[in-house]
Structure 1
Amino acid sequence: MLLTLTTTHHPATDLGYLLVKHPDRVQSFDLPAGAAHVLYPEANEHRCTAALLVEVDPLRLAGGRGRGGAKAQASTPDAFTLGQYVNDRPYAASSLLSSALGRVFRSALRGESRDRPELAARPIPLEVRVPVLRCRGGADLAARVFAPLGWTVTATPITLDEAHPEWGDSRYVDLTLTGTLRLSDALNHLYVLLPVLDDAKHYWVAPDEIDKLLRAGAGWLADHPERGTITRRYLAHRRALAGEALARLAEQRLADEPPADSVAGEEDEATPHRPSLAVRRREAALAALAASGATRVLDLGCGGGALLSALVGDRRYAEIVGTDVSTRALAIAAHRLRLDRLPQRQRDRIRLWQSALTYRDDRLRGYDAAVLMEVIEHVDPPRLPALEDAVFGHARPATVVVTTPNAEFNVRYEGLGAGRFRHADHRFEWTRAEFAAWVDRVGAAYGYTAEIRGVGDDDPEVGSPTQLAVLTSTETTTIRKEEPIR
């Protein structure tokens, strides 16, 4: 099996630091079913390619080492006697390649890099190629699972026999993915989706596979339009396991975003070529935090921890605090962050506190930045002055990032009638003028200036679906409106 990973980031040889594999050496690793080798066909400052080559030993695969063997055959389509020895496993990408990724690139999967921590937290241009991938569902399924994650997908079916094109295509594809993503995200996508496309696993699927799936899918699987298919295939179509996994994913979604009170919720706008509004909103908040230069940050009203997961993966943040009034939401966030499994040094960066934003909390004072992402609209209007005093007056972070729905955009959601809000728990939704007036008043009262921008596709008549303000403690008093973030 072969997988290549290429970057044109400059200098491209930094890929060796991210993978913790030196470009000048061939490195080999023992696997339960064979061996894996990492080598670099090309490595210069303009372009660097790392290749993962997996050699499968059919005897070892069939011999029952670890938790594989005879039980493993029950989860594969090759469950006949000779199928243990005569199959496509040595050649076609499958769960064997996924396991090798987890073994060989363990620190890169976690987003860790001792030598290039800032680069590990940044998206870089990447190209992934898997020249032979068994894909039950064809090129269309490959596009459906990878494209929503930001990849440009080229999946070319491989013919059964070039000498007999009339025989048609095989169930294998030559897969190429291109995009600008964090390396850890790219590797986690592959770790989950390679066995999903193969629709088989070389080992017995036990309940602990749920945790593996949710760990690798943190930050993207809960919102994926094909999450049902991905979950069922990854868990070998075992109903009980898939049901539990989907229930836990649903909990994450509920904690991150309150349930929509319309047939056309705002997150339904995601397409195979465009991430959902929730993803773009998080990206916009992260970009604003990065631009502020903050290293100690608060996620106020953190819910299930979607933003916290991204913050933890960015080494620039030395201290991260998530607060929520709901203990259930904090428990979900702790599970999502895997706090009980993180190394002590990582755990020391993160705190989860129960706190109500309409009351002063001395623990929240002295931070560089705070985020109120889709929070203020859940507060009753008479209680907003208390929130303003607690956040801007008492806690007083140097930068505050606020996002809230743009009520004017609601007319673009089919089925969202006049006077109805996007979510059942919203107490209000503001127009652009109303939000600008609130930002102006808060800034004047507490000594902040602000920039307001849109998040999502900009409509020339009604603006963007989400509005974002960055309030900064400076002497400037002008509110400047910027182009929408796409």
Structure 2
Amino acid sequence: MLLTITTTHQPATDLGYLLHKNPARLQTLEVAAGQAHIFYPEATAERCTVALLLDVDPIGLVRNHRGPAGEGFALEQYVNDRPYVASSFFSAALSKAFNTAMNGTCKDRPELPEQLLPLEATVAVIPATSAEQLGSLFSPLGYTVETEAHPLDPTVPEWGNSRYYTLRLRHTGLRLRDMLSHLYVLIPVLDRGDKHYWVNREEAEKLLRRGGEWLPQHPAREFITRRYLRFAEYVNPTLERLLAGDEAATDDLPIPAEAEADTTAGPLSLPEAAAGPAERLSLHDLRLDRVAEEISRLGAKRVLDLGCGEGKLVRRLLKAAHIEHILALDVSWRELERAQQRLHVAEMPPRQRERLTLTQGSVLYHDPRLAGYDAAAVVEVIEHLDESRLTAFEQVVFARARPGAVLVTTPNADYNQRYETLSAGEYRHEDHRFEWTRAQFAEWAAGVAGRHGYRVRIEPLGPEVAEVGAPSQLAVFEQ
């Protein structure tokens, strides 16, 4: 990962004072992701450039559990874009390398931090859904934005461009600490849901500290805050603090879970035609509420939550007194640990604790523990599987486990055209292997039901729009 910052302020070598880094020597810092190297490719009175090069150790990240878990996809833990593409790792290195400058401190030249300088910054590789998205984040801050797209494979031009860009920013007069704060906040926003550190109240305070001066006026402030903090328990209070006293704050419609929690790199908000002013639930909450409601209607006493994640559906099911036992399964051990924490399993009364089993496993391999249940919930799971593996999923759930009812939700690809930041053929989440139209989902569901002795009905999830339907879809299979 490489960032360069250039100024033509006279004398340009004042940049060294501002950064508290001597242009005459290379400096290396140990950071969580590897090593950060600081050096000056050019340093004259007319022009000065500083470079921050982050040398990520992908093996160390896995061995020391400092990066995303990647359980179930072992090769991806070692073969990925982390060493090259700007991410939250880079923001952490930026803060450590240039902390003095970001705080506006310059002992030798105390007047320098407040000076407006001509500045240029180049981020060698950054992910984005489009060049327009990069412009929507940086242009409102006064930058001239230039982007260079990179092809998936230069030898196969028909494959088109990748999601990676070189980003160049120019500003005619800006404090250096402001540019550093903009980069510090906005680089993690473009992480596409793969934030590389634990999000907590401390991260909310960091966002307020680094973005408090400029974020309240930014037109994409809600998207930035949601993508930076990920979880509503931190997002909503932070937005309230940012917008306190801001009369221009709007009562925006809710953002679908794919943008709010962990997915696409674009600001996906429900279009105005899709929901009324009273529509306050996120799409993700709506899905979970509807599935929990249907499980109650079925009178299921023993329930499977397949792909339980951090336990949001489990929390709803535990409130239903008629449910005697819930087996919640996920392939990721890290997600299960998070579920234990969020559900406060250790503090549960013994009888409540006996109602819940959190266990690691896969929906692609036969597991005798899954037999004997009244209902199974499979919420936003199948699209994360390769289509070629759906036959295995079908055998595990419908042929072997055979719960009395199976509830499957998945995005509706017909609706994707409503999201302005999604290009044609692009999925809502980078880990989605496919997204089905309503017709494709109905065909698959009918085939599964016919092969295994179930009847099936399909219903829309979320506000419907003529011709494209609702943003998500639910299939209820019953024996």
Provide the TM-score with structure 1 as the length reference.
Answer: 0.49
